[in-house]
Every structure is written in C-alpha cells, then in structure tokens.
Amino acid sequence: MNASIFNIQRYSLHDGGGIRSIVFFKGCPFRCPWCCNPESLSVHPQLMFKKSLCIQCSLANGVCTSAVEDCPTKAKSMIGEHKTIDEIMDVLIRDKVFYETSNGGITLSGGEVLLQQVAALELLSACKKQNLHTAIESTLALDIEQIHAWAKLCDRFLIDLKIMNPQKAKEVLGIDIHKVKENIKQLIHLNAEIIIRIPIVPTYTDSSENITGIISFMHEVGLKEVHLLPYHNLGESKYKSLNLSYSLYDAKPINDKIVEDIRQTFIDANINACIYGN
Amino acid sequence: MLSTRLQTYKEELLSKPRQVSIERAVLYTQSYKTTEGEHVLIRRAKAIRHILENHELTLDTQDLIVGNRTKTPRAGVISPEMSPYWILDEIEQFETRDQDKFIFSTKDKEIFKNELYPYWASRSLKDYYQARVSDEVVEATKTRIFAINQTDKGQGHIIPDYEILLKIGFQGMLDKVNKQLEQKPTNHFLQASKITVEASIQYILRNKTFVEQELNSTTDVQRIQELQVMITNLEHIATGVPTNLYEAIQLFWMQCLILQHESNASSISIGRFDQYMLDFYEENEFNAVLLQNLYLKMNTIVFIRSKESAKFFAGFPSGYTMMISGINKAGIDATNPLSYKLLRLHEDIQLPQPNLSVRVSKQSPHDLLMLASEMVRLGNGLPQLFSDEVNIKSFRNRNISLEDANDYGVVGCVELSIPHKMYGLHDIAMFNLLKCLEVSMHQKTYTNYEELKASIKATITTYVNYMVEGSNLCDSCHANVAPTPFLSTFMDGCIDNAKDCSEGGTIYNFSGVQGIGCPNLSDSLYVIKKAVFEEEKLTYEQLMELLDTNYEGNEKMRQTFIHQYDKYGNDNDEVDFLGSELLTYYCEEVAKYKNPRGGYFQPGSYTVSAHIPLGEAVNATPDGRKAKEQLADGGLSPMVSRDVNGPTASLKSVSKLDNYLTSNGSLLNIKFSPSVLENDSGLEKLVAYIKAFNQLDIQHIQFNVQSKQTLIDAQNNPEKHRDLVIRVAGYSAMFTELSKAIQDDIINRSEHTL
C-alpha cells in the first residue's frame, strides 16, 4: 500500500500533545483561502522552485535549464511522493524515545487525510503495532468508510471547525458542515477523544457569530477542548514557489488581542481553550 | 532578585576595565631569586608563601566575603614562570587584540621587559619544553594536526578536596602533614605542603588584620557590624572548623584563592558543591545573599591567555564549574534543597560563573529538570547537563571503582573527573581528525573507500603517537618546573604517598586528549564514498582538484556536495556511522598509551572554541566546507546549518557514536529559538527532550536560547548588551567580549524552531 505524502515533520510540538512526528498527506478537496500548505492541495507531485536558494548555475536566456535532480541547492524540487507504509514507519519509529518521554506520538495531517483512508488506516495500524500514540488532523468533511476502525486506531482527533454557517462553508471552503457535525457525533458515540481546532482568520472565522456557533455546537455534543490557531501568512512564499495565486496576500497576521478575547469567550463558556496546541 | 548592593557590585565588575596584573609575577620572581639551588617543590612553596604574605588586599564596600585575587576585579594575572615569551611578543597587543582584551599599564610593561622577562627567559616551563620537544611534534603542532595545550600556563583542570577542609580545617590538614613528616622528615613534597598550609593560616589572619584596619576607617553602622562578623569568622576559620554557612563559604573562598595564587591556572573546579555544603545550609534570606555574593566573587577571576590560546578558549573562562544533583556514591539520587537553591540563584546573577552543571539520571526529580529548563530558558546557556547513566559507564570502562564513578564531577567545560582523586590532565591536547583526512587524501589516488579508510586510520595512528609524546613531555614539564604542593595537599593519596600530584601522587592519573572534527569527517567521507566510489560522478583526481583549488569556479559542485548528500546530524545511519567508526578508532588508539604518572590516556571530544583555529588549518573538504572555514562546533554537534531534520534527529545522530568511550568528556550544542520554550508546556517539552537525551546515552548537552535577532543586535550595538551571557562551548561568556569570528559562529549555529 502506498500513501501520497509531501512531508514527514519530526519534532512537532503543537499537534496532538508532546513531541510528535507529523505525516502530511497530499491532496485536499477543499479550498480554504488562508491555507498555509498550498503544496498539500493537489494529489499529484508538483514542481516547487525556491528562488532564494537558486545560485543561477544553469541559466540560459534567464531561464533555468537544470533538471530537478541536478539542481545543486534543491531550489528546484518535486513536492510529493508515494511512499509505502514501511518506508513511512522507518522514519516515524526513529523518534520513539522522544514520544515516550513527552507523551507524544504520530499525527496524520494533510491535505485531507480522509482522501486516502485505506492507506491512513494501514499506517495507524502499523503505529499501534509499535505502541505509538496516534492522532489525526482533519476537516472530517468526507464520508468515513470504516468509522469503527478509525475510532479504534486513532487515539486523538484534531478536528477543524472553520465556518459554521452552512452556506458560507460551502461557498468559501467547499465544506458540507452538516457532514462534519454528523461525523463528529458518530465518533463521540464511539468514545473517540476529540479536540476542536479553529483557525482564527480575520473576517472569515473570527466573527462573534461564528464563534458562538462553534460554542453552541460544542455544548450540544459535549466537547470540552479547543485549540485556537491564529492566522499567519507564512504560506505566502510557498504560493510564489508553486506559481499559484494567493487570495490573502494583503492580509496581516491577526492581532493577539483578538485571539485572546476569543480564548476568553471559550473559557467563559466552560470550554478549555489554548492558543496553538499543547 | 539581587539586592541593590549586590547589583552595584555586579555592575562595577562589568564596567571596570580589565587590567593585566603583574603583581603575582613580581612576587613570585622575588622569591625565586632567593631560592636558587633549592628543590623545586620548596621553591614553589616559598614563592606561594611570598605571594600570600605580600599581595595587595582589598575589600569592596559591598562585599560580605573577604578575599581578592587581584587589586581590580577581572584582572589578567600573567605567569612569566610558565612562559615569558608570548607575553613579550604580544605586549603591545593586549588592548587591541580580537579576543580577550586587557589594559597593560606602561609602568608595568617596563617592569615586565626589564625585570621579569630577563629572569624567566631560559628558566620558564616553556624553555624546559622547547629544549626537549622533537621536530616531529613541533611540525605537527605547526600544521595544527594537534595542539598541546598547557606548555605555557598552569595545568589546573582538577577538583581538589573542599570537603575535607570544611571538616578538619587548616589545623587538621597541618596535623596530617606533620604526622607524615615525622615518618619522612626529608621528603620535599611534605615539607612544601607544610609551608603552604602554614602560609594559608597566616594568609587568613593577614586578611583579618586587613579587615580590622577597614573597620577603623568605617563610620557606617551597618558596615561596622558586618566587618566585625567577618573578623570573627576569619579568626575562627584560620585554624578552626566552620560552624555555619557563612564561615564555610569564607573558608571555601580562601581555599579557592590560595589555589589560584599557587597555580594561576584555569579550571580548578568546584565539584559537587550541593553535596559537601549541604550540612551547613539552611534556607533563609541571609544564606541566599551569601551564595549570591559567592557567585559574584567567582566572576572576579578571569584567566588571561595568549592570542593563540584565546582563539581556542575564548572569553576567558576560569572554570569555576559547579556540579549539582546526580546520584551519590551509593547510587541513590542526591538532589537536595541546596541543589534547587544553587540553580535558582542563576536567575539573580546571570553571569558566566559558576559554570553550573546538572547531573541527570533516571532518578532525577521532575521538579529539578523543570527548574533546570527554566534556567536554560533565560538564555545564558546555563546549566549544562550531564547524563549519569553513560558517564558512570564511561568511567567503569576505565577501571574506576563504581563508588568513585558514581561521585563524578566536571572540570573546566565538560571534562569528566573524579573529585579529589583524579589528576586527569583533562585538557592536555586536541587532535584534528579532519586534518588527518586531508593528510591521507594527499598521499595517493585511492580506488575504493576501504583503502582510503585504512589510510586515514594509519594517519591517526601516526599522529596520536606524536600527540602522546608531546603531552607526556608537557606532563613531565609540570612535574619538574611547576609542581603544586598546596593543590596536592587536597588530593587523595598525595600526603600518604608523599608525592605531588604532578608526580603521580593521587589515585587516578589520566591524560585527556580530544578528537575533534568528527562531524565534518562523516560528511566528507560520505561524499567521497557516494560521489566518487559509488556513483562515479567524478574521479578521485577531479575531487582533489576541486579541493586544492578551494572549489574556485565550481560553486555548483560545492553546493551539490552540501545539499545532495546527507549529512551527520540528520539521523541517517549510513552517514553517521562513517565518522563514528573513525572516532572509535581514535579512542581505541589513544587508550593504548601510558603517561609518566603511571596512568593512561583517555579520549574526549569537545572543541571549546578550537573549531575555529583548527578549521583555519584545514583546506577545503569534500563536505563543501571551504578552506579555513570553521569545523563543526562543540565536538559532537553537527556542522552549522547542515542538520535540517530538527533537534530529535540531531540527538539520534549523536547517539550513534560510542559515547561511553569519550570518557574525558564530549560536548553537544543545541540551539532553540526562544518561542519553543514559551510557557510551562514548552518547558515540559524541554524536560522530555532532556530525558530522551539521557536515555540515548549521550554524555553532555547544553542549550543556547537567544534569538538570532538579539545576537545580531548585540553584535552591532555592544553597549546595549554588555550583560548578555551566551554559551560558547562547555562554558558561558559575555557575548560582547567575544571576537567577531566566534560571535558569527554562535549566530549561525542551526536554530531549531517549530
């Protein structure tokens, strides 16, 4: 079994508890305008060019003629590769000692992990054989084929709630919010541990109406923990490198005060809230 | 928090210009002129006595602890008896040199040139060394294949017995020596020891008289009371045994000073202060002030070095290295309230000394690790951490008893030692493994990797032999020219054996030699193995051409070598084991040799700041490093900016070295951006990282936590950052007092963020 992934990031500190390695699955059917991982969107490998690394060693008429594999500095590189579960596990197992001392583990992220459910479950299963703590980061906005298996193999679900208004969610993100809610309810029914994550993006998700919507849903289903992810524009340069357009070019990083106010709103509603993850 | 008076004291320390002090040299020389013909041990003892009887005493009006090394704080005490030559050569450069600047007054320069230099030229330790050193050793030292370190200065690098003095006092020590003298009345060492112990008692009484004079000229009521207590304390501890922490610290400090007056050496270290001081300690505000005061006093002593030596040990580390926590002789965790206090005090002081070090074991309390992490977060690089599990195993592997191994301490930077039982010459030499690659590569055209590897091993063998020869000569120089009877009095076995520690009087007698450049060696070998022998991307001759021309006109190939071939520090077994095999080979070669004191050589792997000067001596290498560029810092740290998989991968790479073999000590720098350590959850993750470090059997780790921005700002605006303390290598120093080359090195070390 192969998974299409674009990165395995070791030493991640805010994505599911403790010190973790994150496997980034490639491909996402949704289009959040603020996405900071544009290289995750397409399922297919993509050419990335990082201008800052280029030493202009193979220019002809101002155009780089170097093949990707010959680029000395990796300014030119292909993003995304198909890896077997064993190959991925070889990397993940390397930091086992750190997972153990920190109560950390493995997090599957994306892209949207649910686009590759068979591979993802197989990877989770392999992690469980090594007694590793597992988590996924997902919108949960797709049909889940083997929900019992997910509930059994995944110790912690980090679920994004972004825009609660069904019509806006559909228009802006392409997300069916009813499906997200249904999936969450089913997982709760199966005793899954769920943490809600909210990207705080100016004008998109930071309105009091949206926050209130999230709070009332969390109250309805009995969820108690939320992580707030303040918007940053770190992804901007990646759009350039991929030759993609970025609709939030002009957006400024969100003001700390706004994020803190939102955190307080959750606390006042009896929901544990922290900025970034822990 | 520091009280206003100690804050004033601290500011004065940093603001006063550092002077070169010739006082000790003048007194030492006066004495030596009157003792011609006597045994060297007696001459040394009399010289120390003369210094203790005559050097100028001072007492800062803020100070509660009596005793000063020099008239002005942080003065550089020169020792022409070790070598007058470098001092004369550099006499006009002390104020302007890149590193470790000092003011040398015109009057003192004249005294040096007219009185000190003429006497010591031909009589110094350096002369003794030069007259005997072989051409091969000289040649190898010139090309910096290795460096022999203590040919022009005191040996130091030892932890004497502070505990015994606290228990029996100077009178008790004198009784011990006298008892032995009855058996061996003509023994020079015992005679010398007696002179120094008696002189110590008189020195404390002299300090008392001095404070009495101060008292007469003081009108401030509070100060009068303080001075009266100091006088009583000094009177009591001159011969008696301390009864409280104040007296214990006063006695301890007097011992520290006398040791300095004797050897004028770096790294006469403190050992397990939280263990032997515990009996005197109770938690109260006054005791906290005393300890703060002691920390500040340790920063009044710096160590002056030659320009060359200052490149290797930049920022004048004096090596008041203090070991905290760890298991006790019986193997039980010995963390105590004083351990916590000593760590916490760093927050108040935030200066390079004492060089705080914490032993980490499986039994370490979580609270202790949290506190250590909190101190690390302050960004001064303190404390550094040592793993009990691997370090005790390292010593067991060198036939040290389990009880003694359990009690290990650290001297100087990261050199592992057994308190009051080991004269380890821990810093006697540094060996440039990368230079061995360069030498071997030029010997012939190799057709396969195994052939090259065999040749590098042969080169290592050849030069280890010469390094041992140089080290052993230096070793005997110290025994013959600069024995240390006072220090030896506080080393187990010396009184019983009636022998100075430089002659092998104490229990464990090692010589510690550091193999450095292993990370660059791994990286270089991997490029050769892959690009030349496996992929045949270029021929061996083409590679040599690239290196000989310093990659001139072929930046593309250099970048290819840097980026297309994995590097040590990224947890790639194939790369990591290449260097590891050769470091192990070096360790095994070294351990075959004996020294003149009946002990063995033992290897270490740390660079201090030597990765810069030793790098200057190495041509371009296949890892993409250009000629003269620095080597990897630390000793075991990956080459700057080559570790791209984060700090867990770096630790994993380091863990693949045979870390228990480098029993003299090894060094690992890790740099975190401050954001990683924000809030308690950040600290918990550092604790988890430290626990993993311990489980991975790595000897040492230290952290720099300053943002690149802060460091660059400090480089550009030194006046705004005069108090910025930063980790260099096994010790911390004031950032703005480092040369630009070392500042740049620290700025460029890979910073792990999120």
Interval B245-303: pLDDT, tens: 999 999 999 999 999 999 999 999 999 999 999 999 999 999 999 999 999 999 999 88
Subunit contact B685:A12, Cβ cutoff 8 A = no
Instruction: Return the pLDDT at B753.
Output: 62
In the predicted structure, residue B655 carries a pLDDT above the cut 60: yes
Average pLDDT of the residues in A179-200: 97
Instruction: Return the pLDDT at B531.
Output: 98
Asked if the structure places residue B656 within a domain, the reply is no
Q: What are the C-alpha distances in Å from A216 to residues A157, A205, B541, B728?
A: 19, 15, 73, 54
Average pLDDT of the residues in B604-630: 93
Instruction: Return the pLDDT at A100.
Output: 98
Instruction: Return the pLDDT at B697.
Output: 96
In this structure, are A65 and A168 located in the same domain? no
Average pLDDT of the residues in B458-475: 98
For B147-170, how does the pLDDT look when each residue is reduced to its tens digit (9 = 90+)?
999 999 999 999 999 999 999 999
In the predicted structure, residue B173 carries a pLDDT above the cut 90: yes
For B725-753, how does the pLDDT look when each residue is reduced to its tens digit (9 = 90+)?
877 776 777 888 788 888 888 888 766 66
Instruction: Return the pLDDT at A252.
Output: 72
For A91-123, how does the pLDDT look when each residue is reduced to its tens digit (9 = 90+)?
999 999 999 999 999 999 999 999 999 999 999
Handedness of CA B470, B471, B477, B480 (dihedral sign): negative
For A60-98, how does the pLDDT look when each residue is reduced to its tens digit (9 = 90+)?
988 899 999 999 999 999 999 999 999 999 999 999 999
Distance CA B492, CA B541 (A): 57
> Which H or E run contains B680?
helix B679-695
In the predicted structure, residue B315 carries a pLDDT above the cut 80: no
Instruction: Return the pLDDT at B147.
Output: 94
Q: Which of B562, B564, B648 is opposite residue A11, by nearest beta carbon?
A: B648
In the predicted structure, residue B723 carries a pLDDT above the cut 80: no
Instruction: Return the pLDDT at A234.
Output: 64
Q: What are the C-alpha distances in Å from A22 to residues A12, B583, B685?
A: 7, 34, 16
In this structure, are A259 and A152 located in the same domain? yes
In this structure, are A69 and A139 located in the same domain? no
Contact A276, A227 (CB under 8 A): yes
In this structure, are A32 and A58 located in the same domain? no
ipTM: 0.94
Subunit contact A98:B676, Cβ cutoff 8 A = no
- Mean model confidence pLDDT for chain A: 93
Distance CA B456, CA B584 (A): 13
Among A26-30, B176-180, B390-394, B713-717, the least confident range: B713-717
Distance from CA of A181 to the nearest CA of B (A): 30
Asked if the structure places residue B289 within a domain, the reply is no
Distance from CA of B602 to the nearest CA of A (A): 30
Range of the domain at A60: 46-79
The pTM of the whole model exceeds 0.90: yes
Quote the percentage of chain B above a pLDDT of 70: 99
Q: Which residues of A touch B648 (CB under 8 A)?
A: 10-11, 19, 94-95, 98
In this structure, are A135 and A181 located in the same domain? yes
In this structure, are A29 and A126 located in the same domain? yes
In the predicted structure, residue B468 carries a pLDDT above the cut 90: yes
Instruction: Return the pLDDT at A238.
Output: 80
- Mean model confidence pLDDT for chain B: 95
In this structure, are A142 and A242 located in the same domain? yes
Q: How many domains does chain B have?
A: 1
Subunit contact A11:B559, Cβ cutoff 8 A = no
Average pLDDT of the residues in B453-458: 98
Subunit contact B560:A72, Cβ cutoff 8 A = yes
Instruction: Return the pLDDT at B274.
Output: 98
Instruction: Return the pLDDT at B730.
Output: 67
In this structure, are A102 and A230 located in the same domain? yes
> Which H or E run contains A8?
strand A2-12
In this structure, are A75 and A116 located in the same domain? no
Asked if the structure places residue B61 within a domain, the reply is yes
Task: Assign B312 a pLDDT band (cuts: 50, 70, 90).
Answer: confident
Average pLDDT of the residues in B447-469: 98
Asked if the structure places residue B93 within a domain, the reply is yes
Subunit contact A72:B556, Cβ cutoff 8 A = yes
Distance from CA of A12 to the nearest CA of B (A): 6
Hey, what are B28's tokens?
A: 């030492």
Average pLDDT of the residues in A29-44: 90
Contact B142, B232 (CB under 8 A): no
In the predicted structure, residue A249 carries a pLDDT above the cut 70: no
Instruction: Return the pLDDT at A250.
Output: 62
3-state secondary structure of B426: coil
Among A74-83, A234-243, B543-552, which range has the highest average pLDDT? Answer: B543-552
Distance from CA of A18 to the nearest CA of B (A): 7
Hey, what are B71's tokens?
A: 């008239």
In the predicted structure, residue B313 carries a pLDDT above the cut 80: no
Choose one of A62, A79, A96: the last residue of a domain: A79
Average pLDDT of the residues in B109-119: 98
Quote the percentage of chain A above a pLDDT of 90: 79
Burial of B636 per CB tally in 10 Å (0-12, 13-18, 19+):
buried
Burial of B370 per CB tally in 10 Å (0-12, 13-18, 19+):
middle
Average pLDDT of the residues in B184-191: 98
Asked if the structure places residue B735 within a domain, the reply is no
Asked if the structure places residue B18 within a domain, the reply is yes
Q: Which residues of B touch A74 (CB under 8 A)?
A: 563-564
Instruction: Return the pLDDT at B466.
Output: 98
Range of the domain at B89: 4-134
Task: Assign B316 a pLDDT band (cuts: 50, 70, 90).
Answer: confident
Taking any CB pair shorter than 8 Å as contact, residues of chain A touching chain B are 9-14, 18-19, 55, 57-58, 72-74, 94-95, 97-98, 100-104, 278
Q: Are strands B409-411 and B725-727 parallel, antiparallel or unpaired?
A: unpaired
Average pLDDT of the residues in B202-229: 97
Q: Chains A and B: how many Cβ contacts under 8 Å?
A: 70
Instruction: Return the pLDDT at A53.
Output: 85
Subunit contact B571:A94, Cβ cutoff 8 A = yes
Instruction: Return the pLDDT at A172.
Output: 95
For B572-589, how does the pLDDT look when each residue is reduced to its tens digit (9 = 90+)?
999 999 999 999 999 999
Distance CA B730, CA B747 (A): 17
In this structure, are A154 and A51 located in the same domain? no
Q: How many domains does chain A have?
A: 2
Choose one of A79, A99, A131: the last residue of a domain: A79
Q: Quote the DSSP letter at residue B41.
A: H
In this structure, are A62 and A175 located in the same domain? no
Of residues B458 and A246, more confidence is placed in: B458
Task: Assign A256 a pLDDT band (cuts: 50, 70, 90).
Answer: confident
Of residues B491 and B728, more confidence is placed in: B491
A152, β-bridge pairs: none
Asked if the structure places residue B387 within a domain, the reply is no
Subunit contact B648:A19, Cβ cutoff 8 A = yes
Asked if the structure places residue B552 within a domain, the reply is no
Distance from CA of A54 to the nearest CA of B (A): 10
